Each structure stands twice: as C-alpha cells, then as structure tokens.
Structure 1
Amino acid sequence: MSNILIVTLEMEEVYQRHFNELRTRYFPAHANYLDAHITLFHHLPAAEPAITAALEAAAQRQPLMLTVAGIVHFGNGVAYRLVSDALQTMHSRLQQTFEPWLIRQDKQPLRPHITVQNKVTDFKARQLHETLSATFTPFEMKAVGLKTWRYLHGPWKAEQYFAFDALAE
C-alpha cells in the first residue's frame, strides 16, 4: 500500500454525478480511472496522525459554498474553475499545519478546479472549451466534507471521510 495521501474536497452528490458524467463523456477512457474530484493536497504522508487530526478539526464547520465560475483550457485539457473565499481560508490554514510535509506543488496557492478532460491534444481541448463555454452560466454548489485517498500509482483508494457539520457555528 502506498504511503502517499491525497486530500480532496467532497461535493454534494448531485454535482458529483454531473461532473462524473462530463468526465465519462470527455476524458479519454484509457486514462479515466478516477471520479471527478477537487484536489486540495497531492502528496502527504499517510502515517502522520497530525494530518488526520487537522482534517477532523477543519471539518468542524458548516458546508462550504463554491461558485463554479468558469471553464479553463489548460493545453491538453479542460476544467471548471471554482471560487470560494472560505475554501481559500481553510486551505491556507491547512497548509500552515501541514507545512513540514508539503511538497512544492502543495505549497502553491490553491487554484481549485474540477478537471473534465485531460491527456488530449491542445486542438481537442480547445474545441471542448469552446463548446462548454458557449452555454456556460456560473452556478453555486456545496462542498460537504474532506476525504483522504491512498495513491496507488494511478487509481486512488478511498481512506477516510470528514463530513462538514451543518450545525457548526
């Protein structure tokens, strides 16, 4: 089993299904072995108890509202851009706590997104970006918790789920 832990933000089920359907439609089948996800941290040590404790503490909050604000073309793929001041604040606090274990990628400012296409040609990604952008209207969705995953050199294995507390102040 891998010692690498990935942390994601969990979205409400209706949007999870929506973005999974987009990935199924637009992601190359041979490379689409993950559900749609919002990655917060890419590489943390799985055996570090302070990480679990910090995630448990971070989940003691009300669900986060996210604005799905736009569609981004990034060369060989397309993603939906997410905006949330509350998410940025939570992520920054977790970065401070996780600082001893962060790789360079996880020390960067968070640019939250949901990738629906990757590992294609720039031409194909540009076409999808134009198609999706033509009818896109920003919308709100709820993030309902945090989740950890073991990295299995391709697929991920779900580990723990930390649900946000709707009754928290």
Structure 2
Amino acid sequence: MTDEKRPARPAVQYGPTGETVAANVKSLRTRRGMTIYALSGALAKIGRPITASAIAKIEKQQRQVTVDDLVALASALQVSPDTLLLPWTDHGDEIVEVTGAGNLPAADVWSWAAGSNPPRLSEVDPVGELQRFQADARPPYARPLLTASSLTLSESQRAKFIAAGYAIDD
C-alpha cells in the first residue's frame, strides 16, 4: 500500500426521478402538516428509522433514497410508492421526464407504473407487445383478463395503434 490518497468520489448526481422523489416527499409531508421530526418518528415506528436531518437532506437532494427507504417513506406518508416516484401534474398530457424512459405524457407514465401499458410501444407488433407487458407486469392473481376489448390504452398509445392501421374497439 502507498501513502497516496485515493481521489474523492464524485457525488452521485440526481436524475429526474430522484428529483421527483425529493420534491414529492417534501410536498406530501408538508401537505400532511408533518415536520421532518414527525416523519422521522413515523418511520421509526414502522421499523425504518431515518433521522430528521437525513429527511431534510433527502428533500434537498443531498441524500439518495434507497428502495427500502422509498417504500418506508410511502408507508409512513400513507401513499403508494408510485406517488413518490412519479411526477404530479395538473394534466395527463403534460410531458414529464422519468429516468430511463425519457420524456412522456404524464398519463402514460402513471399507466406504466400501474402495469396497464409499457412506456412506449414499437410499431412492429404493438398489440403483442402490449399483451406481453400486461402479462408480465403483475403476478397471475393480479392480472386482468386480456382480451382485445380489455386492452387499456392512453390517448397517445391509441393514436399510435390507429396510425399503425389497427382497428380500435370503442
């Protein structure tokens, strides 16, 4: 070993979803009238202690949120984990950015998280792709019966199907 010091690791940059989680934790906490101390106490009660200073750092994007932290925060705030992960918008057609998925209409992002539709459909086999997604998005007991009339499409996905020449039942 040498006496040379290792270079400092660069801070992990927040992506759009990390930024959304930080903003949503703060927004939901304040809407519920909770202080960071109250949220910290609620987390401790459910077995995932996170200090008040750590919560403040999460909200300022100075501390990363682990998957376990995310689920515990959702439980303590009494919301779905999706509520922390996904951008809140006033309209479903607003374009939002999601890590790994890019820029999409908010309604498509929420539909993806709910297991209804993939974030994008190819033009080669959109019906087969949608059916595969819906079959793999949930365990068998939670899957809807997949029929042509039960396919759930957002407006933008519906337009892609029509543009690709598929007839859509109304």
Q: TM-score range by the shorter chain?
A: under 0.3
TM-score, scaled relative to structure 1: 0.23
User: Of Structure 1 and Structure 2, which has the larger fraction of its residues in helix?
Assistant: 2
Larger relative contact order (C-alpha < 8 A, sep ≥ 6)? 1
